[in-house]
Amino acid sequence: MLTERHLEIFVALAEEEHFGAAAQRVGITQPPLSQGLRRLEALLGVRLFDRNRGVALTDEGSLLLPHARRALAALSELREIGAREHADGRRLRLGLAPEVPARLAAAVAAAPVRAGEQTRIGVLTAPTATLLSDVAAGRLDLAVIRHPAVLDGLAAGRVVLFPTWLLSPEDHDGGTPRRLPVAVRPREEAPAAHDLFIDTLASRGRRVETVVVSDERAGLALVAAGQAVLVTADDTLTAEGVERRPATDPALPLRLRVVWDPRRPDAAETADMAQLLVDTLARQAAK
């Protein structure tokens, strides 16, 4: 197998043109240097130096030299990048379901830094189904998802409930939920959570009709236009002509939990970080 050491030996010998000087440069004695060169030539199937003319590069050696230098430079740069990454602290890749209100998302993302962790945060907003897939594939370290959801081997913190509000057009009476469709995100984004939401509405004998929207802004627009109602955990979401009241009949809390992959090598450290996020969710929910 071609290694960085092989390339170091080759470049040192090509530039020093002396076995003793090259060995001293790479920090070994002359016998292992000669052995390393022979292994490199055997791997490549060519002679790199003409021993009959001292230490002179062959044509094949001259062709290899610039490539070897670039490879060593690239490896050196990669180590420097790794050192900078380590110096900057751990990178935390965090996923957030789109139903997480902006204020809550900010509190969760800031929690590690406020706790004194030397952590660089990367945040992705995506549907619960996508977040679960990304955590399982190692593309995310942690994710805040809607509950319930099929975890397929992922670990999860306790479920935290957040109150929600029912937004409806001001001109409609108290029977609005029965007369206007409920704006919802596509079911495939969080099938189990979507079904629980619909089943809870239907449990009071209400006929549940839905209209699919891409996000809560689109849902709010339909509410303002008098064409739908919307249930949201975002206490800042409002518009002219929209009435807000607690969603308590029936209660329709936003259920969130933190998930991570316990099969990863850094699972213990990730679990500690997950608990920090769970505690942050719980504090926010209690406000």
Triad 230, 157, 104: Cα angle to 5°? 40
Q: Cβ–Cβ contacts within 10 Å for residue 194, how many? A: 18
User: pLDDT at residue 175 above 50?
Assistant: no
Q: Can you give the pLDDT at residue 257?
A: 98
C-alpha 3/C-alpha 165 separation (Å) is: 62
Triad 202, 205, 209: Cα angle to 5°? 50
- Average pLDDT (69-90) is 76
What would the DSSP string read from start to end of 49-93?
A: EEGGGSSEE-HHHHHHHHHHHHHHHHHHHHHHHHHHHHHT-EEEE
Give 233-245 pLDDT, tens digit per residue: 999 999 999 999 9
Q: Which residues contact 200 (CB under 8 A, 6 or more apart)?
A: 250, 251, 252
Give 94-149 pLDDT, tens digit per residue: 999 999 999 999 999 999 999 988 888 999 999 999 999 999 999 999 999 999 99
Q: Can you give the pLDDT at residue 91?
A: 84
C-alpha 132/C-alpha 12 separation (Å) is: 50
pTM over 0.75: no
Q: Can you give the pLDDT at residue 17?
A: 87
User: pLDDT at residue 87 above 80?
Assistant: no
C-alpha 107/C-alpha 191 separation (Å) is: 26
**Which residues lie across from 182 on neighbouring strands?**
210, 229
Give 150-161 pLDDT, tens digit per residue: 999 999 999 999
Residue length of the chain: 287
